[in-house]
Amino acid sequence: MPFQKNILCIGAGYVGGPTMAMIALKCPSCRVVVLDINKEKIDRWNSDDLPVYEPGLLQVVQAARGRNLFFRTDMEEEIRQAEIIFVSVNTPTKSYGAGSGLAADLQYWEKTARQIRNCSRSDKIIVEKSTLPVKTAQAMERILNASGNNLRFEVLSNPEFLAEGTAIQDLENPDRVLIGSRETPTGLAARMELVELYRSWVPKERIITSNIWSSELSKLVANAFLAQRISSINSISALCEKTNADVREVSRAVGTDGRIGDKFLNPSVGFGGSCFKKDILNLVYICRNYGLETVADYWEGVVRINDYQTERFFMTMLNAMFNTLAGKKICIMGFAFKANTGDTRESPAIAIAKKLLEEQALIVVTDPKALENAKADLAGIATDRVRYIDDPYEAARGCDALAVMTEWEVFRELDYRAIFTDMQKPAFLFDGRNLLDHRMLFDVGFNVYPIGTPAMTHF
Ligand code: NAD
Ligand code: UGA
């Protein structure tokens, strides 16, 4: 049976792969192809060793792959065939030239637009899936329409809100799907086409439509608001440590106010992930470009507090361990930026590991899914003082301190009595996630340093 629609996604990363796998699963009448310039990545998408670890992802991929889901590298042919093209390439922070360190680097984005234009022979709907600065669709339209070939490209904005570690749940049952378009007859028709696609499994009331600029901007704002909550509670954690208040109690008391809500109020060593910092900095850059300095300063504060929190955590370790870490062995428990992912991009564990190594400490990294990425992140840095060990018991053996960086459930279930026995004394535990039972650890003999509540020490 011929497919009713040809859908293409350019960029087979954390977003492109899972998102398209879900569309393919839910829309069996569509042929869904995911393309990438990275052939090794595509080979892995075609194997059972997927390039992205996400609970439930392999099952979704296996259900659709070869049926109506295909991972490929032959750009030209696939662009030609597609009626709807999602663009899900990376948009990292620019590291050169104007806006370096703040603005989004749109080079991959623009290359994709040109590829689409050069290979197209028919009208297409182009969907911005990547997170982009507000007004990018205008640039996209100008590039696409610059060839004078009389083809019609309708650009939509459909930002992705999935979180890593819960991507499959988020895609299957999203809080909302946002679709922005030009409010012209052709723009509205393209919008409806995408609405219909999502209607295959998303309830109507959860599909929000808007003008294209609101849609682009809403993605940056949603990430900024989420990160702002974490920075807000993290800033209060510093005050709690000074005042004998317990940040977990404060968080609960504040979060039970229905107007505030209880999500994203867990204090931590700092938020990580590929997007929060990059998207806020991009927002800051955009505001400054429009002369909105006070607005930019406000949002920049969210990132400043995050850096401060990670630095503060490190200083707590240094101060607690008698202001010298040289030759001490520290087990970094968790390297992923959050649980249930192998992704380490912008993980606070990277900053902490580097600072410990600068202090001449030895580090042992253990993580159930992120050791390969951890090796890449720390490649070439004091390699003789870094080890990577799967088994947390073996990793902790002989260490002076444990530092919990990721809230992996498996860390909660370890036998800390046995771990304590095999450690140097005094033994320290720094819980950057408030994951563990601090009273129990203290009773076992650890000197315990949680976030946002005074330390429990035997000194
Ligand atoms: P990623 O780096 O995992 O994947 C991007 C992929 O695009 C890479 O595999 C890269 O090789 C490919 N690519 C780049 N240029 C290409 C080209 N010209 N042709 C074909 N392929 C090309 O990035 P990601 O995490 O999937 O993020 C993609 C976008 O989605 C970003 O804008 C990000 O901000 C946004 N986003 C990410 C998440 C997340 O959880 N990671 C969630 C929501 C939104
Ligand atoms: C985040 C957003 O939650 C997604 O909606 C968005 O699509 C995505 O960014 C994106 O644009 O990339 P993600 O970064 O995958 O998703 O994961 P989060 O669950 O948001 O966690 C981000 C960081 O904040 C993690 O390091 C996490 O440990 C930390 N965090 C989260 C806290 O420190 N405290 C909290 O209460 C919640």
Which ligand lies nearest to the CA atom of residue 79 in the structure?
1
DSSP annotation string for 181-215: E-SSHHHHHHHHHHHHHHTTTS-GGGEEEEEHHHH
Which ligand lies nearest to the CA atom of residue 19 in the structure?
1
Does the beta carbon of 221 lie inside 6 Å of ligand 2?
no
What sign has the CA pseudo-torsion 386, 389, 392, 396?
Answer: negative
How far, in Å, is the centroid of ligand 2 from the Cα of 165? 10
CB burial string 90-104: b at 16+ within 10 A, e below: bbebbeeeebeebbb
How far, in Å, is the centroid of ligand 1 from the Cα of 230? 24
Is residue 41 within 8 Å of residue 120, measured between CB atoms? no
Does the beta carbon of 3 lie inside 6 Å of ligand 2?
no
**Confidence (pLDDT) at 178:** 98
Active-site residue numbers? 275
User: Which ranges of 272-428 does DSSP label H, i.e. alpha helix?
Assistant: 276-289, 293-320, 348-358, 371-377, 392-396, 409-412, 416-421
pTM above 0.95, yes or no: yes
Q: Which protein residue has the closest C-alpha to ligand 1 atom 25?
A: 14
Residue 409: exposed, middle, or buried by beta-carbon count in 10 A (0-12, 13-18, 19+)?
A: exposed
Looking from the CA of residue 227, the nearest atom of ligand 2 is 24
Does the beta carbon of 92 lie inside 6 Å of ligand 2?
no
- Whole-angstrom Cα Rg for the chain: 24
Helices 348-358/293-320 angle, 10° precision: 50
Which ligand lies nearest to the CA atom of residue 276 in the structure?
2
Does the beta carbon of 89 lie inside 6 Å of ligand 1?
yes
Is residue 365 within 8 Å of residue 387, measured between CB atoms? yes
Distance from chain centroid for Cα 390 = 23
Cα–Cα distance between 280 and 283 in angstroms, integer? 5
Looking from the CA of residue 132, the nearest atom of ligand 1 is 32
Digit-by-digit pLDDT tens for the chain (459 residues) are: 689 999 999 999 999 999 999 999 999 999 999 999 999 999 999 999 999 999 999 999 999 999 999 999 999 999 999 999 999 999 999 999 999 999 999 999 999 999 999 999 999 999 999 999 999 999 999 999 887 788 999 999 999 999 999 999 999 999 999 999 999 999 999 999 999 999 999 999 999 999 999 999 999 999 999 999 999 999 999 999 999 999 999 999 999 999 999 999 999 999 999 999 999 999 999 999 999 999 999 999 999 999 999 999 999 999 999 999 999 999 999 999 999 999 999 999 999 999 999 999 999 999 999 999 999 999 999 999 999 999 999 999 999 999 999 999 999 999 999 999 999 999 999 999 999 999 999 999 999 999 999 999 999
Q: Which protein residue has the closest C-alpha to ligand 1 atom 27?
A: 90
**Confidence (pLDDT) at 149:** 82
Cα–Cα distance between 124 and 79 in angstroms, integer? 9
The owner of tokens 């912008």 is: 346
